[in-house]
Structure 1
Amino acid sequence: MLDIPSSVSVDVEALLAAQNHMGVCDAIEQYAPVGKPDTMTAPHFPKVAGIDSTVPPPAHTVAPASPEPAPPSSPGAPGAPGAPGAPGALIQDRLAGWVSDLTTLHELTERLARTAFMDDALHEVLRAGAALVGARRGLVVLEPADGLGPDTTVGLGLARADLGHIETVPRGATSYGRILDRTDGTGEPEVHADLLSEDGLDPRHREVAARLGYAASFALPLATDAAGRLGAAVWLYDEPAEPVERQRHLVGLYTRYATEHLARLLELERARTKSRTIAEELLPPRLPRVAGVQLAARHRTGPRGGGDWYDALPLPEGALGLTVGSVTGSGASAVAAMGRLRASLRAYAVMEGEDPVAVLSDLELLLRLTEPARSATALFAYCEPALRKIVMAGAGHSPPLVIGERRTEFVETSLSAPLGMLACWEAPSVEFSPEPGETVLIYTDGLLHRTGDPMDRAFARLHAAAAGVPRTIRNDAGAIADHVLHTVLPDGLDAADSDEDVVLLAARFE
């Protein structure tokens, strides 16, 4: 909150200041007694959320006093103490306006600072700007000047179809288009107080404005010297109107702060996108087609990029290698480690895939020698679809789940430590045979962790989701994977940004 002194003693000709429409600080500066610096201290209003408090006089200041005031001794005269037009009342009203404006800006910028993702921040900028300029609808066009994207348009009170209509207007005829196409780098607003009465208005723009029911617009660039040009914000009025000088000043202060915040989020968004792209490129672009088995995979990457992987590798004599795993940590280093382990595991699977224990033992040795500070969990399965036979070994990984008409159960695997946790890893493999039409679901721990439940309850939720797969989709591995994912992680948890990656690999045997 603002720290404003409870009482301010001002030795100025406040009446003259009010008559000349001066601000409190301007009056203090102009009419301060010369040679008496110690007898008066001008109030100093601190910056709020990085915003300078130098704003024009509030619009709701009371009217100035009459140029011919009654004698001070007359009751009710403007100069008398307590009169409605007294200089003290004028200064108090103006000070109240300052406090109100600064408090509003403080609250709006704090709300914006709490946004961590670009889409949320753009919506917040639109809502705050609409409140400041008195508009009901608007849109933000994000188009960074460096051309690296992302380019997007977000609306307030405008449906996607409405934004589509606006985008049919020639770019040069729109307020945001003229702002984005400027080459002089100026930050002047685009104001159209009565849009439909303008003689040179583009016919398509006139048609769209009439269709959507807006009659005026006010647009500002989202640009600063430090951040460069990021885009433009436009607010739309239902009737002919335009913001007054004070509203323009306040929304200008807000958008300058908002641009700096958006610039930081833009850097984070680009870093997240690069991390996700690298992680996806290190995973299989497509799953192989192998006779006797139907494959489907689902992968969700966290915002910082994680180290979860999956793979399906055709092996000699019609065999198939299936693997999922997870590297500890997150970010670029975990993604790079995941890529190295997955590539190494593919090589080991080709050489000795029929022995999953040997494959994971070699991977353990590689991890311990090349990345001793990192650990990983992994599961490798050697499948013979023609015989419906699976030999599997796991290193600290969750057990697979078999989904069928007559059973839904976890495969009992031997307890083992993650890779890199022991001087020498080795655990016995297990062998089982899925029935025709059954699906084996292999997954990473992120699926369980994203639920937010204790592990025993998360396993129970996973089992219930698998048991509840509708009969109509049991012949489709992809539909089974989708049903399990959306049931275990409802209400968008599967798509929400999280530190936990999610991998599901479903193999349905014919």
Structure 2
Amino acid sequence: MTDAGGLDDPARLDALARTGLGPRADPAFDRFTAMVRKVLNVPVALVSLVDERRQVFPGACGLGEPWMGERQTPLSHSFCRHVVISGRPLVVTDARSDPRVAGNAAITDLGVVGYAGMPLTDADGLVLGSLCAIDTEPRRWTTGELELLADLAAACSDSLRLRIATHAATRRERVAAVALDRTQLLLRASSTLADTSTVADVTAAVRELVVGSLDPDYVGISLIDPAGRISLRSGDTLPPGVADRWNRYPATARTPSALAAVAGRPVLLPDLAAVHEHTPDAAGTFREMGWQSGVSVPLPGPSGPIGALTFVWKQPYELDVFDQAVLAALAGYIGQALQRADYLDSRERVAELLQQAMLSDLPPAAPLELAARYEPAARGEHVGGDWYDAVRVAPDHLALVVGDVTGHDMRAAGQMGRLRSMLRAFVVDRHEPPSALLRRLDGAMQLLSDNTPATAILAYVLSTATGHRLQWANAGHPSPLLLAADGTVDTLTGRDILLGVPGRWPRTNHTRTLPPGSTVLFFTDGLVETRTDLLDDRKRQLRDVLTGLTTAPLPALLDEVFTRLTGNKHEDDVALLAVRVPGK
């Protein structure tokens, strides 16, 4: 047995902690005290574990109230502390006259007079406490009694050592379980974040990832904006007032996110004292939200931090080295996802601007009515090869175009822009029938080795004193529909081969008189073609929808057609163009 050294010896205190015992009854140690009380015929027996400020009784028998309920006393009431400090048994016949313990509060408060305590040790010989027998009268302890108490103390020490070993094994299992959980978290993060495309996607994904793992009360993502300020991107889960307060603020503020983003290192806040010391500007929000701890780690970018990832908890939470490494790895995944989202967002903005630039405003068409709508595919880069165009060639001559280049990406949009520009130039410069201009377009495509398949309709609405006439040529495009004022719907048939096919192909003009109040609807195949429905069924559905829209304003007609046919979910680009002639 070694000398205990002191009550505050770190190794001894660590061993005490690893027993997992405290001021609570433990059945195994209560049985030890029951045996001591019985075999030594004493009124009180205790298993006492002593730390630097108190003694606790996981085993107790015969102790009066309130001590039996509390299962602890301060060191002012402890005889067992002498056993721990000396590392040897303490035997007292009459405590009232023994100079080693005279004056101890346990004499008057607990009635301790006779006392015999044997050391309880761990596997390294560190004295953790005492197994003691207590009498309320002076007691001369016999050698046999002390030997019996020492044997019971040895057995009790074995139980303590088993507790410590079990605790160590349990802790290893717990550490292994936590390590597995954190590893799985990172594996899920690597795949989940790879599927995100916006900052909102990333934020939502991170919230889902940490549920059941780190379990923070709040997940915050803040980014450094172009002006160098901190921009909160996860305020949707905060009360509006709190979100507004931190929506955008100077990077010099002493908040977890600002410090992590600017300094480029983790900010660890295990409790409120740390929050007040290191991030005083955030202390008010922590109090308001009931948060007690937090951590913020920088989000890495190619040229330094781009922001910070912040977790907060409603209880003190101290991250170990492993958790800090996990958060750093998670922040790396998030940083990559956010950079990808920014890149995709930039491409989308460019694509939208490109599409808008290529879809010119509709010209004045009176007395005709004219409306158009374009919707990019619900996938891809939100830009594609569908287009519409309208050119007022003369007061009595309106040219209309609807076309579709294969694809719904930037390449298709670029090809569409070239075809649209060439055909528009032909319409303005060459006063020729639609078929002739489509032949010119086909020839230009072949001359320029631009063989991307495309479809198009070029139509003229020709107005005379007696009425309106439609002349068109169709290069492989879905046939437009003619909606009469009485609700009947006709298909404007007649279609030649699509554009971009090598060779010289015939192009045919078609003509139809437009009845007063009638409407012609041009559309691209994204309106009626799906992967699951029969094309003929979709065409019938379109005709049925049009039947009830004879008097609807054209913008409303296009909205209704688009919504009813697609449900606002469509796999391909959709372009719609409608023209209505005046009624009688």
Partner of 1:357: 435
Q: What is the identity, as a one-letter code, of the residue corresponding to 1:188? A: P
CA distances 1:92-143 after superposition (whole Å, capped 9, x unpaired): 4433332233223323433223335543223212333465443334443344
Identify which of 388, 393, 396 aligns with 1:315: 393
Q: What is the identity, as a one-letter code, of the residue corresponding to 2:401? A: T
Partner of 1:257: 333
Identify which of 478, 481, 496 aligns with 1:401: 481
Identify which of 362, 372, 378 aligns with 1:297: 372
Partner of 1:85: 166
Matches within 5 A, 1:415-434: 415-421=495-501, 423-434=503-514
Q: What is the identity, as a one-letter code, of the residue corresponding to 1:264? A: R
Task: Return 268-277 or 377-386, whichever deviates more.
Answer: 268-277
Please state if 1:97 is matched with 2:169.
Answer: no
Residues in 1 aligned to 2:297 and 2:242: alpha-carbon distance in whole angstroms: 21
Please state if 1:488 is matched with 2:568.
Answer: no
Residues in 2 aligned to 1:293 and 1:220: alpha-carbon distance in whole angstroms: 62
Secondary structure of 2:351's aligned partner: helix
Q: In the TM superposition, what is the alpha-carbon distance from 1:288 to its structure 2 partner?
A: 0.9
Note the residue ranges of structure 1 that are not aligned, 5 or more in a row.
1-14, 22-64
Identify which of 279, 282, 288 aligns with 2:363: 288
Q: What is the identity, as a one-letter code, of the residue corresponding to 2:442? A: E
Q: In the TM superposition, what is the alpha-carbon distance from 1:307 to its structure 2 partner?
A: 1.5
Q: TM-score by structure 1 length? A: 0.71
Q: In the TM superposition, what is the alpha-carbon distance from 1:344 to its structure 2 partner?
A: 1.0
Are 1:440 and 1:507, in contact at CA under 8 Å, matched by a contact in 2?
yes
Task: Indicate how the Cα distance of structure 1 residues 95 and 373 shifts in structure 2: closer, same or farther if over 3 A, else same.
Answer: same
Residues in 2 aligned to 1:342 and 1:101: alpha-carbon distance in whole angstroms: 55
Instruction: State the aligned residue count.
Output: 436
Residues in 2 aligned to 1:85 and 1:78: alpha-carbon distance in whole angstroms: 10
Identify which of 208, 215, 225 aligns with 1:134: 215
Residues in 2 aligned to 1:80 and 1:307: alpha-carbon distance in whole angstroms: 76
CA distances 1:321-374 after superposition (whole Å, capped 9, x unpaired): 110111224433322221111111112112345511111111111112113432
CA distances 1:249-301 after superposition (whole Å, capped 9, x unpaired): 433321222212332343233233323322321221x2111211222221122
Q: In the TM superposition, what is the alpha-carbon distance from 1:221 to its structure 2 partner?
A: 4.8
Note the residue ranges of structure 2 that are not aligned, 5 or more in a row.
1-10, 18-121, 128-150
Matches within 5 A, 1:83-482: 85=166, 90-129=171-210, 132-143=213-224, 153-155=233-235, 157-158=237-238, 163-164=243-244, 166-167=246-247, 173=253, 175=255, 178-179=258-259, 182=262, 184=263, 186-189=264-267, 191=269, 193-194=271-272, 198=276, 206=284, 213=289, 215=291, 218=294, 220-224=296-300, 226=302, 228-235=304-311, 237=313, 239=314, 241-242=316-317, 244-245=319-320, 247-284=323-360, 286-302=361-377, 303-304=380-381, 305-353=383-431, 355-385=433-463, 387-421=467-501, 423-449=503-529, 452-469=532-549, 474-482=551-559
CA distances 1:161-202 after superposition (whole Å, capped 9, x unpaired): 8644543877755737625872x5x13237495499959966
Task: Indicate how the Cα distance of structure 1 residues 306 and 95 shifts in structure 2: closer, same or farther if over 3 A, else same.
Answer: same
Partner of 1:25: none
Secondary structure of 2:233's aligned partner: strand
Are 2:389 and 2:402, in contact at CA under 8 Å, matched by a contact in 1?
yes
Task: Indicate how the Cα distance of structure 1 residues 262 and 486 shifts in structure 2: closer, same or farther if over 3 A, else same.
Answer: same
Task: Indicate how the Cα distance of structure 1 residues 351 and 278 shifts in structure 2: closer, same or farther if over 3 A, else same.
Answer: same
Residues in 2 aligned to 1:372 and 1:393: alpha-carbon distance in whole angstroms: 21
Are 1:403 and 1:438, in contact at CA under 8 Å, matched by a contact in 2?
yes
Q: TM-score by structure 2 length? A: 0.63
Residues in 2 aligned to 1:152 and 1:91: alpha-carbon distance in whole angstroms: 39
Task: Return 83-92 or 478-487, whichever deviates more.
Answer: 83-92
Residues in 2 aligned to 1:443 and 1:129: alpha-carbon distance in whole angstroms: 47
| Higher Rg | 2
Q: In the TM superposition, what is the alpha-carbon distance from 1:395 to its structure 2 partner?
A: 0.3
Task: Indicate how the Cα distance of structure 1 residues 215 and 439 shifts in structure 2: closer, same or farther if over 3 A, else same.
Answer: farther
Are 2:255 and 2:281, in contact at CA under 8 Å, matched by a contact in 1?
no
Task: Indicate how the Cα distance of structure 1 residues 83 and 235 shifts in structure 2: closer, same or farther if over 3 A, else same.
Answer: closer
CA distances 1:60-113 after superposition (whole Å, capped 9, x unpaired): xxxxx7654899x97994799999627655544433332233223323433223
Residues in 2 aligned to 1:220 and 1:145: alpha-carbon distance in whole angstroms: 21
Residues in 2 aligned to 1:385 and 1:341: alpha-carbon distance in whole angstroms: 27
Are 2:260 and 2:266, in contact at CA under 8 Å, matched by a contact in 1?
no
Secondary structure of 2:473's aligned partner: strand
Q: What is the identity, as a one-letter code, of the residue corresponding to 1:343? A: S
Secondary structure of 1:442's aligned partner: strand
Residues in 1 aligned to 2:256 and 2:518: alpha-carbon distance in whole angstroms: 56
Q: Which has the higher contact order (CA 8 A, sep 6+)?
A: 1
Residues in 2 aligned to 1:290 and 1:281: alpha-carbon distance in whole angstroms: 21
Q: In the TM superposition, what is the alpha-carbon distance from 1:146 to its structure 2 partner?
A: 9.7
Matches within 5 A, 1:17-32: none
Task: Indicate how the Cα distance of structure 1 residues 216 and 354 shifts in structure 2: closer, same or farther if over 3 A, else same.
Answer: farther
Task: Return 242-251 or 349-358, whichever deviates more.
Answer: 242-251
Are 1:140 and 1:231, in contact at CA under 8 Å, matched by a contact in 2?
yes
Are 2:301 and 2:336, in contact at CA under 8 Å, matched by a contact in 1?
no
Q: What is the identity, as a one-letter code, of the residue corresponding to 2:504? A: C
Task: Indicate how the Cα distance of structure 1 residues 264 and 369 shifts in structure 2: closer, same or farther if over 3 A, else same.
Answer: same
RMSD: 4.3
